Amino acid sequence: MKMAEIFVYGAEQICASCVGMPSSKETYEWLEAALSRKFPEQPIKFTYIDIESPPDDPTVREIAEKVQNDEYFYPLVVMDGNVLGEGNPRLKSIYEALEAYGYKGK
């Protein structure tokens, strides 16, 4: 099974329509903990992308620019180029995506 890589795009400032929700970084940490519990001993790579200073990878930069241009709410959760959630991502849809990828939930 290929290891899944989950990207969480966000910024320090909370998105205007997400006031009252956790920050992007808090969402990233929460997802990492929740998914590690749901899929123990099954490696998942988690990467946080600051939309204000994304790395040089063209695909990552393109998605970060879309978030900056308000095409997506942040935090934005992406796996294999597919959006799994934005703004206030739902664990259930992320679980389902990982299970479809071959992960076995606990």
Is CATH 3.40.30.30 what the domain over 4-100 is classified as, yes or no? yes
Whole-number Å distance between alpha carbons of 103 and 106: 10
Give residue 87's pLDDT band: very low, low, confident or very high (50, 70, 90): confident
**Each residue's pLDDT tens digit, 14-68:** 766 666 778 899 999 999 999 999 999 999 999 999 999 999 999 999 999 999 9
How confident is the model at residue 16, as a pLDDT? 67
Block residue for tokens 């879309």:
66
How confident is the model at residue 12, as a pLDDT? 84
Is pTM beyond 0.85 here? yes
Whole-number Å distance between alpha carbons of 48 and 106: 25
Which residues lie closer than 8 Å to 59 by C-beta, 6 or more apart?
A: 81
How confident is the model at residue 56, as a pLDDT? 94
**C-beta separation of 8 from 102 below 8 A:** no
**C-beta separation of 75 from 33 below 8 A:** no
Kindly list the domain boundaries of the chain, sorted by start residue: 4-100
Query: Which helix (H) or strand (E) segment is 26 a member of?
Result: helix 24-38
